[in-house]
């Protein structure tokens, strides 16, 4: 009886099914589509499948980074440090720097959406980080690519629109709990 009961209560072991290298271009397009549909967790899953088939695929890695950044602030999304660490695997300097800018900018947006008491100060610090990375990306960009400049300008507008500012020095020195 015990043997029968244990068979009934055991969960089946499931394994991920691999995709072929030939399916990668279509899968990349699908990941982009899911990001546009605001389903970044689906895009993340697809990117991980692509990377399992082709570990060095830079397009899938970049799309994974963007998909994870899309999840900041949503249902215990990824930690910013985990996503930043992935950028180290990008072989292109421009994509590394621009990607880091996107990560910090999206994190700042998620902080603002969270409405924490110090959101404007925390968001400001992250926007400043984003702008630093966009400046670096601007120096490494192809001449026909203005994305880093456009993102920089969006950050300036975000600071103005939300009246973001650095934390006042007196609050920085205030002990927690007082």
Pair (95, 144) in one structural domain? yes
Is residue 10, in this structure, part of any structural domain at all? no
Pair (123, 157) in one structural domain? yes
Pair (89, 154) in one structural domain? yes
CB atoms closer than 10 angstroms to residue 46: 24
Closest-CA residue to 78 (of 90, 99, 64): 64
Asked if 47 and 63 count as a contact pair (C-beta separation under 8 A), the reply is yes
Task: Domain count for the chain, please give it.
Answer: 2
Burial, 167: exposed, middle or buried (Cβ in 10 Å; 0-12, 13-18, 19+)?
middle
CB atoms closer than 10 angstroms to residue 128: 15
What string of pLDDT tens digits covers the 178 residues of the chain?
555 555 556 778 899 999 999 999 999 999 999 999 999 999 999 999 999 999 999 999 999 999 999 999 887 789 999 999 999 999 999 999 999 999 999 999 999 998 888 999 999 999 999 999 999 999 999 999 999 999 999 999 999 999 999 998 766 655 554 4
Is residue 38, in this structure, part of any structural domain at all? yes
Pair (87, 162) in one structural domain? yes
Is residue 114, in this structure, part of any structural domain at all? yes
Q: Is 73 left (phi over 0), alpha (psi -120 to 50) or beta?
A: left
């Amino acid at each position: 009886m015990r043997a029968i009961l244990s068979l009934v209560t055991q969960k089946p072991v499931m394994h991920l099914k691999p995709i072929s290298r030939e399916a990668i271009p279509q899968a990349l397009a699908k990941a982009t589509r899911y990001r546009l549909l605001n389903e970044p967790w689906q895009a993340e899953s697809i990117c991980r499948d692509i990377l399992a088939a082709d570990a060095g695929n830079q397009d899938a890695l970049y799309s994974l980074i963007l998909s994870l950044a899309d999840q900041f602030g949503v249902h215990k999304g990824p930690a910013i440090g985990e996503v930043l660490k992935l950028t180290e695997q990008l072989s292109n300097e421009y994509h590394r720097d621009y990607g880091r800018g996107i990560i910090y900018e999206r994190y700042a947006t998620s902080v603002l959406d969270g409405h924490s008491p110090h959101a404007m100060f925390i968001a400001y610090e992250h926007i400043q980080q984003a702008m630093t990375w966009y400046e670096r990306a601007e120096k490494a960009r192809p001449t026909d690519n203005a994305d880093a400049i456009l993102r920089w300008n969006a950050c300036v507008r975000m600071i103005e629109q939300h009246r973001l500012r650095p934390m006042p020095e007196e609050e920085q020195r205030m002990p927690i709990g007082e």
